[in-house]
Amino acid sequence: MADENFFAMALEEARKGFEVGGIPIGAVLVSKDGQILGKGCNKRVQDGSVTKHGEMSAFEASAPGTGLPPPASVYKGATMYTTLLPCVMCTGACLLYGIGRVVYGSGADQNLKFDTVKILKSYGVETVCVGDGESEEMMAKWVRENPKRYEREPWAEG
Amino acid sequence: MADENFFAMALEEARKGFEVGGIPIGAVLVSKDGQILGKGCNKRVQDGSVTKHGEMSAFEASAPGTGLPPPASVYKGATMYTTLLPCVMCTGACLLYGIGRVVYGSGADQNLKFDTVKILKSYGVETVCVGDGESEEMMAKWVRENPKRYEREPWAEG
């Protein structure tokens, strides 16, 4: 499948999150040979979680949930499709597992303190912005509709 | 409480993980005003997880698990006590939440590709190595006793 198909799946994950009141960011992790390893959305709201961003959910979805997680080699050179530019935590997770490419919808909401495109590139990770308006608009809508909840996000503090 | 007391709690978490066959790394997250926000150990083995390192478990333990997670401001200037130097993912999580200090037992097992001490310092995070032999020895013992399982870790690939 082409990038646009995998990105569309990430967008669908973001929509699913939005529909249940969650922060609308979705991600799909695809191995170097084109296999979908995992997909998911941000579950900060749904699970009351500190770390379950979209990308982290995709990583976790690639594991069985009990017993042996996949060997780290499975992730080498994989592509992370995500509707919004990864934060510095998710960037670190991508670096840890040797992700080769990050394809994202929009970088509009990024925390400027951490230039994650620059960080990813400095370790040889390719970054591709597909310029997706829906990713941005969904996030902006969620922030407008959930101002008090948004205040709990690191981004809200600048 | 002093650093040594909180570090001892992180070590106790690592021992608990070791006792059940888990990767023996423990962490305790303490707010700027000395409150324990969360603690936990690496649960890669126990939960078949991709991302549950000791520090991530400590972050997650600071949330109720359902409903609203704490506001991000709670973590500003906090100290992460961890038995082994944080990996690049956990480093990213610390940066995301504005952790002010990282106190770790040993950096012996660190992945040299990512100099996380340098990364943390570059963003103004203080790092303190307490030079704890037990943290190192437990990890070395786990690797010796679980060679096949260890191969699944990113570190094993160099």
pLDDT tens digits, residue range A86-107? 999 999 999 999 999 999 999 8
Considering only alpha carbons, which residue of chain B is nearest residue A151?
Answer: B71
Q: Are strands B101-106 and B79-84 parallel, antiparallel or unpaired?
A: parallel
Whether A83 maps to a domain, the answer reads yes
Would you say how long chain A is, in residues?
158
What pLDDT shows up at residue A109? 61
Q: How confident is the model at residue B12 (pLDDT cuts 50, 70, 90)?
A: very high
pLDDT over threshold 70, residue A68? yes
Would you say how long chain B is, in residues?
158
Whether B41 maps to a domain, the answer reads yes
Closest residue by Cα to residue A126 from A152, A106, A102: A102
What pLDDT shows up at residue B80? 98
Whether A156 maps to a domain, the answer reads no
Task: Compute the nearest-CA separation of A130 from chain B (Å).
Answer: 24
Q: Identify whether the C-beta of residue B80 lies closer than 8 Å to the C-beta of residue B29.
A: yes
**Which of A20, A39, A50, A55 should be substituted to probe chain B, the one whose Cβ sees the most B Cβ atoms within 10 Å?**
A50
Report how far residue B131's alpha carbon sits from residue A119's, in angstroms, rounded to the nearest whole number: 29
How many structural domains compose chain A?
1
Instruction: Tell me if ipTM is over 0.85.
Output: yes
Whether A38 maps to a domain, the answer reads yes
**Average per-residue pLDDT in chain A?**
93
CB-nearest partner of A91 from B44, B64, B92: B92
Helix, strand, coil shares, percent, chain A, to 5: 45, 15, 40
Which chain A residues are within 8 Å of B124, Cβ to Cβ?
A: none
Closest residue by Cα to residue B39 from B98, B1, B94, B80: B80
What pLDDT shows up at residue A110? 62
Q: Identify whether the C-beta of residue B59 lies closer than 8 Å to the C-beta of residue B116.
A: no
| Eight-class DSSP state of A114 | S
Amino acid, res. B134: E
CB contact residues (below 8 A), chain B span 19-58, against chain A: 44, 47-51, 56
What pLDDT shows up at residue B37? 97
CB-nearest partner of B60 from A49, A87, A149: A49
CATH of the domain at B86: 3.40.140.10
Q: How confident is the model at residue B1 (pLDDT cuts 50, 70, 90)?
A: confident
* Residue in B4, B19, B55, B136 annotated catalytic: B55
Task: Compute the nearest-CA separation of A78 from chain B (Å).
Answer: 14
Report how far residue A96's alpha carbon sits from residue A90's, in angstroms, rounded to the nearest whole number: 10
Whether B157 maps to a domain, the answer reads no
Q: What is the pLDDT of residues A3-48, one digit of tens each?
A: 999 999 999 999 999 999 999 999 999 999 999 999 999 999 999 9
Interface contact flag, A157 B73, Cβ < 8 Å: yes
Interchain CB contact of A112 with B (< 8 Å): no
Whether B64 maps to a domain, the answer reads yes
Which chain B residues are within 8 Å of A114, Cβ to Cβ?
A: 95-96, 123
Predicted TM-score of the model (pTM): 0.96
Task: Compute the nearest-CA separation of A93 from chain B (Å).
Answer: 4
Q: What would the mean pLDDT of A66-88 be, rounded to a whole number?
A: 93
Burial (CB < 10 A; 0-12, 13-18, 19+), residue B20, is exposed
A-to-B residue pairs, Cβ atoms closer than 8 angstroms: 121
What pLDDT shows up at residue B65? 75
Q: Which residue segment(s) compose the domain that B104 sits in?
A: 3-151
Whether B156 maps to a domain, the answer reads no
What pLDDT shows up at residue A155? 81
Whether B87 maps to a domain, the answer reads yes
Strand-by-strand arrangement of the B36-41 sheet: B36-41, B26-30, B79-84, B101-106, B126-129
